[in-house]
Amino acid sequence: MLRILRSGRFYFWPIVTANTVAMSMVAGGSIGKAIGFSVVVSFLASYGFLINDLWDRDADRVNQATRFEHSKPLVLRLAILASGCFLIAGLGLAYWLGRREFLTALVIAFGLSAYTLMLRKLFLLPTIVAAILATAPLWSPLLLWAANAHKWRWIFVAAVVIMVAARETLMDARDQPGDAVGGRDTMATLFGQRIARFVGAVLTISATAPFIVAIVYNTSGAPAINRVGAIILGAIVLALLLKPTVGIISDIKAERASIQKYVKTSRLAMAIIPFIVLLWCR
């Protein structure tokens, strides 16, 4: 059960909820529906993590991920049951929330399933899909409840998508041995870890300008203190991402440890995003 709980990544649920509710407040959506849909996305995220870990046992055995690679059949069956329960619960709650919420949840669930079962051995497409799915708490409220979302809100989301794509690329560099065994065509397996690390760093750096500019434009009508606060928080997010990125490029011998540090700080960066979004409120 501990392995199932670990694979469900429940520590992401508060971040999912905070991002969904914050963007919903900016988009003009109902707080009640926002909280409900954040639970939907959390359920579906845990479903996606579980099926991915169940499907990736051969690769995880090489990468020593300590997920389900050495689990007994009973644990695997319970994990499959848990993933099915999360999927049904997520879609069921979305259906209760409304037609548009249910259709959006269906798209997310299909994307999560396709990512693991059909797309993982393709080049680049899985990285793009993973980045879009990971930012669902930000774009889904704009899609569902914003009558006329300003372009700079979408540019902000796009910048975060690029940051997440960079994170996925760097994680592929970390997991290159297992991905090679699994027959995946990632940046790391095709061109080597050094190239993958470089591409991940370039993606992170390229997202900085649109990220900050979008914050400035999204707070243009808010009080001056909101604008200053949002820019400061944005700078903190970039510092959390850029500092370990420099370490990844320069640390050739211990690249796995430096990438793991980036993964941890990127989670903290994503936890700051909803506070930036809340400061957009006028």
State residue 116's pLDDT score: 87
For the stretch 74-87, pLDDT in tens is 888 998 999 999 99
pLDDT grade for 69, boundaries at 50, 70 and 90: confident
State residue 132's pLDDT score: 95
Comparison of pLDDT for 158 and 220, the residue scoring more: 158
For the stretch 246-265, pLDDT in tens is 877 776 555 677 787 888 89
Comparison of pLDDT for 273 and 121, the residue scoring more: 273
Mean of per-residue pLDDT scores for the chain:
88
State residue 117's pLDDT score: 87
CA distance 270 to 273: 5
Q: How many other C-beta atoms lie within 10 A of the C-beta of residue 212?
A: 18
State residue 254's pLDDT score: 55
For the stretch 98-138, pLDDT in tens is 999 999 999 999 999 999 888 877 888 999 999 999 999 99
* Domain edges within the chain: 1-120, 150-282
pLDDT grade for 143, boundaries at 50, 70 and 90: very high
pTM: 0.90
User: Looking at residues 213-232, what average pLDDT do you find?
Assistant: 92
For the stretch 160-209, pLDDT in tens is 999 999 999 988 888 888 888 777 888 888 888 888 888 998 999 999 99
pLDDT grade for 65, boundaries at 50, 70 and 90: low
Q: Per CATH, is 150-282 categorized as 1.20.120?
A: yes
State residue 251's pLDDT score: 65
